[in-house]
Structure 1
Amino acid sequence: MTETWAPSDAPPGARWLPQARIGFESRNARWWWLGAGGAVIVAVGVAMAVWGMFPVDLHGPTHDAGIMAPTCGLTRSVVAVFRGDISMAWRYNPAGLLVAVVAVAALARLLAGVFVRCGPVLRVRPGRIGWMVLVLALVALEIRQQGQAELLMTAGLR
């Protein structure tokens, strides 16, 4: 599948609307990095779910001041997903659920490409509305995470 979306092919208003297409691609080499990233996230997430969190503090200087980023709690959230505790994952960071699902899907796509030589490809053009929704979602996540500052500043999962 080697199609391109040219602006001249798009109907009026298409720049504003999100578009998604799914297809299959026989070239696995193009997407190996996504599957490799998914494999790393799954392997590290499962390892931390079994043996505990790494004893390394990766927080930035603003974290100690009580200013949470949208990514605060993401690691603990992904580990909670792999432990099967979805409600705790949601409390730490709702984006962790998305990260875990995308990582598993990317790993499955990589394995499908290795064994079947063909895998699904999802192509998304967010459009202007999609970008606006993404920015608003990040702002909402930032506000939510700031409200969870007390939880996120604790030692967390062990």
Structure 2
Amino acid sequence: MAQFDPGVPQQRSFNGFGPASIPDPRDRVLDDFLTSVMAGGPDAVASASASASEAGRRVLRAHAERLASRAVRGGDPALLVQALVAAVLGGLDENAWEAMMPMALIDDAGRRLGVDLPTLFDDVAHIVGHPGTVNLMVWLTRAPEDRTPGAMGFVAANDQEGFRYRWAP
């Protein structure tokens, strides 16, 4: 089975991944990567983040978006833990604007699934450690209208397979 290396400067095997059908075999590769990093806790998250290329971060941000859609589609709030870790590794730990975009989808997915967001974010904070923790908690202080998919350029929609967040420029 293929493995994901966030440090690869060219992530060619993930071209077209964001808008690809859900599920896609590449989802599993990224799920496995995140499971491994999460098992290692804050040290593994810091190591993965330090080695990540910008292309690797883009893949992780796309995966965070897809995980939010998968969570709503399957009614599985556990996927939001992986989505938040993916967002942190996608640049939230560096306060990257682009990493804020999937946060709105994760937030919305959590609301749709009845998840207590402060508890979810606190649980993930223990996995990612500092500095990801800080930016996770800062997200929760944003005004409600700034935490919506629409505020970040997305809409909640459906495709052939079911519920899906879509970019709506």
- When normalised by structure 1's length, the TM-score is 0.27
| Larger helix share, 1 or 2 | 2
- When normalised by structure 2's length, the TM-score is 0.26
Structure number with greater CO (CA < 8 Å, separation at least 6) is: 1
